[in-house]
A and B are shown apart, each in its own frame.
Chain A
Amino acid sequence: MSLPIYMDNHATTALDPRVLEAMLPYLREDFGNAASRNHAFGWRAEAAVEQARAQVAALIGAQANELVFTSGATESDNLALKGVAEFYRSKGDHIITLKTEHKAILDSGKRLERMRQERLEELKLLRLMELTGGEVKPEDADALSAQYKLDQDPVLQRWAAVVRAGARVTYLDVEKDGRVDLGKLADAMTDRTILVSVMLANNEIGTVQPLAEIGKLCRSRGVLFHTDAVQGVGKVPFDVESMKVDLASITAHKLYGPKGIGALYVRRKPRVRIAPIIDGGGHERGMRSGTLNVAGIVGFGKAAEIARTEMAAESARILALRERLRAKLTSELDMCTVNGSLEHRLPGNLNISFAYVEGEALMMAIKDVAVSSGSACTSASLEPSYVLRALGVEEDMAHSSIRFGLGRFNTESQVDAVARLVVEKVKKLREMSPLYEMASEGVDIKSIAWTAH
């Protein structure tokens, strides 16, 4: 068997040879700028872009003119949150999302919160200057605020009510299986809520959210609904019409397409508006300026077409591989736990914690297999996975997690080889683990007074 084996298809996927074939002419002779309206080079590029736009739209049940091409899902997520917050700021300023969303959503939300907070701080300083009749240094603001009881100041409250910068963001908890509770989502909505953003499928645990129910709820409350559909599109059914989705982020490289090209679906009926975050030549109907990545877009289109026609058969095949891997691991190893819902899950995702074995050590032991871990040691932050923590997974079990991401090019013999290797190495590492020894002797690991470092 050829090594290494790639089982990290949530990180990225291999470029399908059919996609590369479709792209090549646009990297060679058909290099035109799709915005060149007056010569054949531009016309050919434009025709290729429009064909691809229709292919991508067909995959998600959209119209071609509802897609805005971007550099990828991170940009699409930024554009959706910041674009809606800015455009609808006279309507409201509250956004609801989940604690398990991708960082592109969470950190866009944090920036919007910071923008609003900075504006409020400015107003506070202005009000203090008015009250004291002089200069106020930012470092004195807190003491003066207390002295002048600014938290009860009616003038400042009136000023704050007209602040139109940034947003307030609610980060909802998820249930133990990783899914959102619709009742809690409904309860979090206020008359200031303008947007709900819930992902189609999670990148770590593969949990698929109930988008149709969320879409129905949002539509009934007059709130826009955005979904980061990156991990799920082309793998599980996704349709913007039946799910009443208003905005959706997608990207090519999770679909066996090229990196550097994504899209934001923006609904036309009823019309959804966004303010651009990149200004310039007015490409993509003013929502995203910048010369179009023609070859990337053509590849995205081809990848979407393949996904649309092959998804049903491919997902069934990959699910069977995933279940084969899960059965082998859980039957031959004790004390392992699958993280997230098994029922509502991407077919190719298996996120599993092998108790008393540290994830990075296991990855090192299976170095010819490309997987990911929720262990802190694999991140620069030294914090274990925030997604697993949001599910209520204990920190030690988060450190012990491995994410297998199966995809189009994985085979049954690869699954069997990986399962054999993982079983062997987990057993070896447990032989070296003081925790496994203690647990086997019946010592309650939690009863020990550990010294955090």
Chain B
Amino acid sequence: MAYSDKVVDHYENPRNVGTLDKSDPNVGTGLVGAPACGDVMRLQLRISDEGIIQDAKFKTFGCGSAIASSSLVTEWVKGKTVDEATTITNKEIAKELSLPPVKIHCSVLAEDAIKAAVADFKKKRAERQGVLATATTT
């Protein structure tokens, strides 16, 4: 099984590895996959109040294709709006990295990670607005 040049490049020089403060109200964290399946991805997005993704960091437990898929999406989502980011599909990721069929699940996981991170951010924001709303009425 040979890896594509792009997978090797992202694997050997992963972009945006790291951790953002998950207690920051502007940071959404998505943790997807399962250790038993051999893949866990954590994607963190710092999103401005205007809904623009300003920063993205990942950490991944998984094979080279899983690491490359997460590294790639951190590059793709930066500067996008939340709504634009959630339109990224696993097919685009798989195509960009030339993933073989047996590795398609890695790209699915990366798509799920974006959606999970955005959902976490939206949940936090709703809670915050809820708190603010309660504060103004009293």
Q: Which residues of A contact B (CB under 8 A)?
A: 356-358, 360-361, 364, 375-377, 380, 382, 384, 394-396, 399, 431-437, 445, 448, 450-453
Contacts and interface: CB of A to CB of B under 8 A. Distances in A.
Contact of B36 (A433, A434, A450): A450
Contacts of A452: 34, 36-37
Given A395-B35, A445-B35, A450-B34, A433 B61 contact: yes
B38 A377 contact: yes
Interface residues of B, number: 29
A434 B42 contact: yes
B114 interface: no
B38 A433 contact: no
B11 A433 contact: no
Give the one of A358, A432, A434 with max B CB within 10 A.
Answer: A434
Interface in B25-72: 31-42, 59-64, 66-67
A396 B36 contact: yes
B105 interface: yes
B109 interface: yes
B63 A377 contact: yes
A358 B34 contact: no
B36 A364 contact: no
B102 A358 contact: no
A114 to B, nearest CB: 28
Contact of B64 (A360, A433, A453): A360
B20 interface: no
A263 to B, nearest CB: 33
A396 B109 contact: no
Contacts of A364: 3, 11, 63-64
A398 to B, nearest CB: 9
B119 interface: no
Given A364-B63, A384-B38, A434 B31 contact: yes
Give the one of A380, A433, A436 with max B CB within 10 A.
Answer: A433
Contacts of B109: 453
A375 B34 contact: no
Contacts of B37: 376, 395, 399, 452-453
B4 interface: no
Give the one of A394, A432, A450 with max B CB within 10 A.
Answer: A432
B88 interface: no
Q: Kindly list the 10 A-B residue pairs having the minimum CB-CB distance in the complex, ordered from nearest.
A: A450-B34, A396-B35, A399-B38, A395-B36, A434-B42, A434-B59, A360-B63, A377-B63, A364-B64, A433-B61
A358 B36 contact: no
B105 A435 contact: no
Nearest to B11: A364
A453 B111 CA distance: 13
Interface of B: 3, 11, 14, 17, 19, 31-42, 59-64, 66-67, 102, 105, 108-109
Contacts of A437: 19, 59
A434 B60 contact: yes
A151 B95 CA distance: 55
Given A375-B63, A432-B17, 19 more contacts: A360-B63, A360-B64, A361-B62, A375-B38, A376-B37, A376-B38, A377-B63, A394-B36, A395-B36, A395-B37, A434-B31, A434-B59, A434-B60, A448-B31, A450-B33, A450-B34, A452-B36, A453-B39, A453-B108
Contacts of A380: 102
Contacts of B102: 380, 382
B40 A435 contact: yes
A356 B39 CA distance: 10
Contact of A435 (B14, B61, B63): B61
Contacts of A358: 38-39, 61-63, 66
Nearest to A450: B34
B39 A451 contact: no
B11 A450 contact: no
Give the one of B34, B42, B63 with max A CB within 10 A.
Answer: B63
B75 to A, nearest CB: 16
A434 B34 contact: no
B61 A356 contact: yes
Contacts of A431: 17
Nearest to A435: B61
Contacts of B61: 356-358, 433-436
A434 B63 contact: no
B35 A435 contact: yes
A339 B3 CA distance: 29
Give the one of B14, B36, B61, B64 with max A CB within 10 A.
Answer: B61
Contact of B40 (A360, A382, A384, A434): A434
